[in-house]
Amino acid sequence: MMKKTWLSILYSLLLTLLWSGSVLAQDAAPTPGPITDDQVNAIAKNMYCPVCENTPLDVCPTQACAEWRELIRDKLAEGWNEKQIRAFFVERFGDRVLATPPARGLNWLVYVIPPIAFLAGLYLLYKAFQSMRVSAGVPPVQADRSSASSEDPYLDRLEEELRKM
């Protein structure tokens, strides 16, 4: 009788281990469903169409862009992340497909020149307002009447006539 009890316990443990082994063999992460347009467009909105000028890939109506969006969908289904997909497109078409150019080479000027231009404009406005304030505070220059009267008799006569009025 004791032998039967031990055998049934051993048999139960063996079945439990086999059952738990099949559960552990399952993939821990649930398999994602089909790739949605929102997932594709989340990547495509940060990229530009290599054919059309200044058109984001997510809204470009050309057949080429539809194919590139499908390519993004396929890469997402294969398990690629956004960084890998962007690198794939840069490798094929160059940096011009990126909405935000990388800060290397001459591209770093895109990040440096606008703030410098803004600060230079503020400085020029400051100087212009400062010069306007200084010139408004200075009284106008008065002409010396003694030198004018001796040089031009016509002006002397005109001033006399104006004083009579």
Q: What is the pLDDT of residues 103-140, one digit of tens each?
A: 677 767 777 888 999 999 999 999 998 888 877 665 55
Model confidence at 9: pLDDT above 80: no
Residues 157 and 162: their CA atoms lie apart, in Å, by: 9
> What pTM does this model have?
0.48
State the DSSP string of 46-83.
TBB-SSSTT-BTTT--SHHHHHHHHHHHHHHHTT--HH
Side chain identity at residue 50, one-letter code: P
Backbone angles phi, psi at 48, to 5 degrees: -110, 150
Residue 150's pLDDT is 59
Residue 82 near residue 98, CB atoms below 8 Å: no
Residue 75 near residue 85, CB atoms below 8 Å: yes
